[in-house]
Structure 1
Amino acid sequence: MKEYRQNVAAIILNNENKIWLGKRADGASWGFPQGGIEAGEKPEAAIIRELSEEIGTKDFEIIGQYPGTLKYDFPKEMKFPTWTYAGQEQHYFLVRLHEKAKINLESHPEEIEFSTYQFLALSDLMKMDFGFKNEVYHQALAYFSNLIEKN
């Protein structure tokens, strides 16, 4: 049986209902902030910690959570030095930045995840190909689409 790393991920909205998309610092791809759930940590606490680490703010509110989890497998050529998971099992959250929120991609200089970011319309994201994460990204975006469009 495959073992999946327990993880959280965030779809982040600004006040114009545009969605945050970051370019990974390693240049590999564009994506949403995500990260592992630490031992004993609840998913809600993990997403707050991860967004603080990756985009440098806790100035947001959680407005939705995907029911259950979504999984993706890592490509076979993708190797990690400290673990051997088949992929990630993610708890997805929809969050809205507060109006005065400041994003700081260098808030944790020891581990910078993203080099730049942009905000895009849901319709633009639904046309994008996110590689091996594509199905999960599109499933999460589709699930949250009503909340994104009405808020």
Structure 2
Amino acid sequence: MKTYRKNTAAIILNAKNEILLFQRADFPQMWGFPQGGVERGESAEQAVVRELQEEIGTGDFEIIGKYPELLRYDFPDGMTFPNWSYAGQEQQYFLIRLCPEASINVKTNHPEFISYKAIHFADIDFSLFSFKVDVYRKALTYFKKEFKEIK
């Protein structure tokens, strides 16, 4: 039976209702959303707050939506990690709105991203998401229906 790492992920909106996509440091051809493991004793909400502080350097946001179920993806064949051997990740997705005064800093102590950009939903190039494309499409489509202001 496959085992999946418990994880949380954030789809982030700026003040203009644009979605922020982040360019990965380890695979610069890939773009995505901040995400990370849920630690023992931590709720998914606590984990997403911690991960955003660690990965994009801000806590200036509010959680405005939560995907109603967990989404899973498998890692591609050959993708390995030094400290664990999961088949993939099981994620709780959140829709996050940055506060107007929020400032993003991807140059953290352990940078996962090298840059970011803001785009409208209609302009998303799903090919940038590689093996996570199906999960990203589900989460983005759900939030598009729930929050009509996403363009």
For the aligned pair, the TM-score class normalised by the smaller chain equals over 0.9
Q: Deviations over 1:88-145 (max 9, x none)?
A: 0000000000001000112x32x101000000111112x4221110000000000000
Q: Describe how 1:24-39 pairs up with structure 2 within 5 A.
A: 24-26=24-26, 27-39=28-40
Q: Deviations over 1:61-81 (max 9, x none)?
A: 000000110000000110111
User: Hey, what's the Cα distance between the residues in 2 that align with 1:93 and 1:117?
Assistant: 18
The answer (yes or no) to whether the contact 1:22–1:30 under 8 Å persists in 2 is yes
Q: Deviations over 1:6-39 (max 9, x none)?
A: 0000000011110000001122511100000001
1:117 matched to which residue of 2? 116
The answer (yes or no) to whether the contact 1:12–1:95 under 8 Å persists in 2 is yes
- Unaligned residue ranges in structure 1 (runs of 5+): none
Deviation at 1:147, TM superposition (A): 3.8
Alignment CA distance shift 1:100-1:147 (3 Å): farther
Task: Give the 3-state SS of the residue equivalent to 1:149 in structure 2.
Answer: coil
Deviation at 1:48, TM superposition (A): 0.2
The two structures have a TM-score, normalised by structure 1, of: 0.94
User: Hey, what's the Cα distance between the residues in 1 that align with 2:99 and 2:145?
Assistant: 20
2:149 matched to which residue of 1? 150
The answer (yes or no) to whether the contact 1:17–1:149 under 8 Å persists in 2 is no
- Unaligned residue ranges in structure 2 (runs of 5+): none
User: Hey, what's the Cα distance between the residues in 2 that align with 1:78 and 1:41?
Assistant: 27
Q: Describe how 1:2-151 pairs up with structure 2 within 5 A.
A: 2-26=2-26, 27-106=28-107, 108-109=108-109, 111-125=110-124, 127-129=125-127, 130-150=129-149
The answer (yes or no) to whether the contact 1:17–1:148 under 8 Å persists in 2 is no
Runs of 4+ aligned residues of structure 1 deviating over 2 Å after TM superposition are: 146-151
User: Hey, what's the Cα distance between the residues in 2 that align with 1:144 and 1:84?
Assistant: 31
User: Hey, what's the Cα distance between the residues in 2 that align with 1:59 and 1:150?
Assistant: 20
